A and B are shown apart, each in its own frame.
Chain A
Amino acid sequence: MAIPFPFSAIVGQDEMKLAIQIVAIDPKVGGILALGDRGTGKSTAVRALADLLPPLQVVVGCRYGCDPASSAATCTDCASLKATGKRPKTETRPVPVVDLPLGASEDRVVGALDLEKALSQGVKAFSPGLLAQANRGFLYIDEVNLLEDHLVDLLIDVAASGENVVEREGLSVRHPARFVLVGSGNPEEGELRPQLLDRFGLSVEVRTPQDIDQRIAVIKRRDAFERDPQGFRDEWATQNDGLREHILKARKLLDKVKVGDDLLRLCAQLCQALGTDGLRAELTLMRACRSLAAMQGHKTATPAHLRTVAPMALRHRLRRNPLDDTGSGTRVDRALAEVLGT
């Protein structure tokens, strides 16, 4: 693996960093959509994500990185292994953060017939694609708004079902593909389909820092990193470790955090005021509140947490009149003020 830029060394980008931490604590919150100009460090932040996450326990040699502890979401190999009653051997792997290149062919994404085996041994075998690699981890799409329609369709389906089903070229394979979708892009260059937008739990707006000192800090750190990536990482190792421990602690606390009925009512009112469809928005709000509370070490989620996460969780879900310029952020703020009464 290439050495990623340490997460704790990222300057500014507070909302983005917060969103990443929320998702790292509770991946069920859903993916992150980062919108903003080029060269603002969106990809840097996403690729640094792995810093925050403790390594995974996986079944040895499993191509899909199945969880030895889970019984439900496993691939056929692991399922048959389990049926024999043997305890699978385990190994640790870093959490996968898989890049999906824009021009990727469908084969590369879903997987295809293993040519190597087909030609040399005449065996019909499946060669897993990026979706398999991303199982239990993160799938990162840079410039998600330029993604081809057929790939979008595919992702929408898999992201919802958590399973990749391949029925082509005489193959019939299904394997788990539970991943957190992370996308970044510049909205000026094209819009996203509402269905795809809905698959992202949180959305953040990233801007280049306009403050000259911040910009200088970014340039200095980045330059130092490029000169000596490993050395720079070592320098920041303590901070990174601290951050990871913090996340781990928050994860443990997560189940204990209470979300009261009052808060749920507020969530529902907020969604109603904004006219978001379905219950996904409410669920995301609730989970994000809980995750944020855990992150701050609180045992109860409060309206203050709601206020922090609401813009991120709702901004991209507003049923939008394509010609209405009013920023969705403003609309969320307005609704927040109405519902929370401030």
Chain B
Amino acid sequence: MNLAWDDALWALTALHIDPVGLRGIWLRAPHGPVRDEWLSMLHHLRPGVRRLPNNIDSERLLGGLDLSATLNSGRPVTQAGLLAQSDQSLLLAPMAERMASEAAAILAQVLDNGRVTPNGGGESQQACLGLVALDEALEDETPMAECLQERLGIWLDLRHLGRPEEASDEVLGLIGVLCSPDGEAEEERQTVLQRLRTLRLNDLQIQAITQMGLAMGIASLRGPLACVRLACVLAALRESDAVEDIDLGRAARLCLTPRATQLPAPPELEAPPEQAEEPQEPPPEEESAPPDPEPPSESPEDDALPQEMAELLLEAALATLPPDVLAQLANNHATRIQGGGQSRSGALRHSRSRGSPLPPRPGLPRQGARLHVLATLGHAAPLQKLRTPLASAYGAASRLAIRAEDFHIHRFAERTQTCLIFAIDASGSAALHRLAEAKGAVELLLAQSYARRDQVCVVGFRGTQAEVLLPPTKSLVRAKRSLAGLPGGGGTPLPHAMKLALELALQQRRLGVTPSLVMLCDGRANVSLQGSGGRSQALQETLSLAQAWRAQGLQSIWIDTSARPEPQAEQIALAMGARYVPLPQANSQRMAQVVQAATR
């Protein structure tokens, strides 16, 4: 039996029992039968579960003044926000990957504190809740904001599950009981909660979980903590008096394995004590998969401690791992780095809530737009005479009559971010004399973009293909590191580099960032998109990609790194509408000046 679906149902049931203690779940699954089935069960368990609309504004989230009711009644009417309304319950957040960073930050804070302060101040209200975050992000997209991921106890990835598989009768029976009509279901839940209060992990078990967390390279302690809690809930669900291995195994699969940044290495590969002490600091270079393709089946490294327990736990945890786990791990790591913890959803929306102010304009205060009171009153004032007869009919002659059409909203201009994409030719022809210089120039440029708070992104190409050495980031240290690790030699897969850069640029533009490309290459393309040699085909592909680049209206600069100006490079640069800069005897200082002048 495939354990994934069974585990998913256990997770669901545990969430229903103890939403607050577990803080919620990060459910990664596309819209489809698997997720639908899971959600329909959730709705059966908790009929009234609230949804968090993606475009929610902070007023509605936090609560505060109900504007229309206030206008109607003429006295302040407050309403509780969605968070306070979801106290002691679950809150469903669809499309969590698109959640505005503002909402994500608020949610993260509420998950930490269990309190929410209404908009505009006032007494804070209790809001202890569990979040069911549905994340539909594809492999190459930025997942849900990292600050939220971190706080949700359970991580469940059902992306590889085609359809709901069979589950054990035990969990199905439990769900049946917990769904039953009348008061029975709630009674049952209370019984389980009662049992939960008495359940504890023994020292050995806590030790095993901690050790496993370390071995999997989970730096944060929130994962192991959630694991402890979940193990207790699962044991309580099984009507057991003590937490047993089966609970630990399940909890580890739901809380620890998905957080792993490394696989516990088999003892032959690495000396055990080292592994136990410093498995941390997954440096960004680890993006390439670790060398060992096979999940170790048994005997994780650990010294004198509860070896058997840890072994059992590890075995249980690895039981659900699909065979391509390493690729997934690497992938997971890459996507995690990409977003820098910020999921953005459209720079347009934000410009209504922050930035430098622009003149107000008519509009309704919703979806994050704020009412511009002065402009609204200003618009309403001259019309008062006209409206008085109507207002006095309501017996409120002295009050200001404001209609929906008077509403003005704030507008703000937000400075958009830019992202410099560096594509660096590290092929044999360039490596001979130019690579070091190119690196030096890029370092200088990095220092400048650091000063301007630009994002940078590095694509390197050599041999048969190009690769993203550094996804868009503001971190200089990482940019520099990725550069230092770039070796030279091999062919010039220019078409592939162009394609990759184009994709990156378009992706950045979707996020509201303005991309521009700095290409450092001699233009001697000799490896085609398929990875085979052949100058003419490679050139043809490059030219058509260059045209695509131009068609998108993207900014670019071509720095010719060949020893003498290369006509072919100039031709390509012309095709892509790039500014062509031949720098036969480039020194990095000069190169940096050129780029800076061009992108200013």
Contact = CB atoms under 8 A, between A and B. Distances in A.
Interface residues of A, number: 61
Given A103-B106, A118-B373, A210-B214, A215 B70 contact: no
Interface stretch (A38-46, A80-88, A295-303, A309-317): A38-46
A270 B150 CA distance: 40
B101 A103 contact: yes
Interface in B470-492: 474-478, 480
Contacts of B224: 215, 219
Task: Name which of A119, A143, A222 has the most chain B CB atoms within 10 A of its CB.
Answer: A119
A108 interface: yes
Contacts of B206: 216, 219-220
Nearest to A220: B206
A223 B21 CA distance: 10
Interface residues of B, number: 82
Interface string A1-18: 110000000000000000
Interface string B125-151: 000000000000000000000110010
Contacts of B24: none
A38 B221 CA distance: 9
Contacts of A115: 65, 67, 120, 371, 373
Given A128-B121, A216-B207, A188 B71 contact: no
A149 interface: yes
Contact of A190 (B112, B146, B340): B340
Contacts of B225: 219, 222-223, 226
A101 B340 contact: no
A116 interface: yes
A139 B396 CA distance: 44
B341 A39 contact: no
Interface string B156-197: 000000000000000000000000000000000000000001
Nearest to B448: A322
Contacts of B377: 118
A155 interface: no
Contacts of B447: 322-323
Contacts of B222: 38-39
A149 B413 CA distance: 13
Contacts of A105: 58, 102, 353-354, 370
Interface string A141-174: 0110010111000000000000000001110000
A191 B374 CA distance: 38
A102 interface: yes
A101 B105 contact: yes
A37 B219 contact: yes
Interface of A: 1-2, 37-41, 43, 47, 99, 101-108, 112-116, 118-120, 122, 127-129, 133, 142-143, 146, 148-150, 168-170, 186-191, 208, 210, 212, 215-216, 218-220, 222-223, 226-227, 322-323, 325
Interface of B: 21, 58, 65, 67, 70-71, 74-76, 100-106, 108-109, 112-115, 119-121, 124, 146-147, 150, 197, 201, 203, 206-207, 209-211, 213-214, 219-225, 228-229, 276-278, 280, 284, 305, 340-342, 353-357, 370-374, 377, 400, 402, 415, 443, 446-447, 450, 453, 474-478, 480
Given A115-B373, A323-B480, A325-B477, 7 more contacts: A102-B101, A114-B120, A120-B70, A143-B147, A188-B478, A226-B21, A323-B447
